[in-house]
């Protein structure tokens, strides 16, 4: 994630705080809206991206659950590994995020749990950092000990999916305030946009997995 690339292509929005718990609109691009909410004593606010993806709910869920390929679409992700699969809904995952020089990269070990409501055609994936012996700390990389987030997916008919991507993270270590604020705007926009591209690129790859979900085994 180079500094110049961070500065390009974003539509930054100056807006008053929204009524919904202090959320405010801070950026909008490619059909994705970014909301942020300040956290006392921390430079990085909680952020939430909202957008619509061309692809059905199962195709989107299949891409998100393919951890090893997160590097292909999660913004600034340089490493992603499935450390343990407890069941079809619960994973322990390692992920590393690039940071612009001279800032140290960040990484985390999270437990991810999906809940599925097939009647409402909704999927919620909640992830939070954990202490785990499955992945030791990496020299020169700051481990984010306090991270949690959510993907909320809602089918909009058979061909589109509404997505909310929310992250509440303390990046730890030394992180310039301007980088934290810019990442807040950039990460959700490009992650949701790239997820849509990955769904289009991989459509049909996950037929066996989707078949299990349709059969009610997920």
DSSP assignment, residue 31? T
Per-residue pLDDT tens, the chain, 218 aa: give them.
Answer: 333 233 233 344 444 444 467 899 999 999 999 999 998 888 788 999 999 999 999 999 999 999 999 999 999 999 999 999 998 899 999 999 998 888 899 999 999 999 999 899 999 999 999 999 999 999 999 999 999 999 999 999 999 999 999 999 998 877 777 777 778 888 999 999 999 999 999 988 887 777 776 666 66
Residue 32 and residue 193 in contact, taking contact as beta carbons nearer than 8 Å? yes
pLDDT of residue 11: 43
What CATH class has 3-214?
alpha beta
The reported pLDDT for the residue numbered 13 is: 42
Of 115, 123, 111, give the one whose Cα is nearest residue 58. Answer: 123
Which has the closest alpha carbon to 164: 1, 32, 17?
Answer: 32
pLDDT of residue 8: 32
The Cα–Cα gap between 98 and 161 comes to: 28
202-215 pLDDT, tens digit each: 988 887 777 776 66
Q: Which neighbouring-strand residues pair with 152?
A: 124, 164
Q: Which two tokens stand for residue 22?
A: 């202090």
Q: pLDDT tens across 144-191, in order? A: 999 999 999 999 999 999 999 999 999 887 777 777 777 888 899 999
Q: In this predicted structure, what is the pLDDT of residue 216?
A: 61
pLDDT at 103: 87
What pLDDT is stored for residue 179 in this prediction?
78
Contact (CB, 8 A) for 70 and 190: no
Considering the entire predicted model, what is its pTM? 0.85
């Amino acid at each position: 994630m180079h500094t110049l690339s961070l500065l390009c292509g974003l539509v930054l929005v100056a807006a008053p705080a929204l009524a919904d718990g202090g959320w405010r609109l801070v950026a909008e691009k490619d059909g994705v809206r970014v909301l942020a909410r300040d956290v006392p004593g921390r430079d990085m606010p909680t952020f939430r991206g909202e957008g619509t993806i061309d692809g059905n709910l199962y195709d989107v869920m299949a891409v998100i659950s393919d951890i090893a390929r997160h590097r292909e679409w999660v913004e600034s992700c340089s490493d992603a590994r499935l450390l343990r699969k407890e069941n079809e809904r619960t994973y322990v995952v390692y992920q590393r995020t690039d940071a612009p020089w001279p800032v140290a990269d960040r990484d985390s070990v999270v437990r991810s749990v999906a809940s599925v409501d097939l009647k409402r055609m909704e999927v919620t994936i909640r992830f939070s950092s954990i202490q785990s012996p499955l992945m030791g700390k990496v020299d020169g990389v700051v481990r984010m000990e306090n991270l949690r987030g959510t993907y909320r997916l809602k089918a909009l008919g058979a061909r589109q999916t509404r997505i909310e991507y929310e992250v509440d993270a303390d990046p730890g270590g030394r992180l310039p305030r301007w980088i934290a604020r810019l990442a807040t705007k950039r990460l959700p926009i490009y992650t949701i946009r790239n997820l849509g591209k990955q769904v289009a690129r991989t459509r049909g790859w996950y037929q066996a997995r989707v078949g299990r979900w349709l059969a009610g085994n997920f």
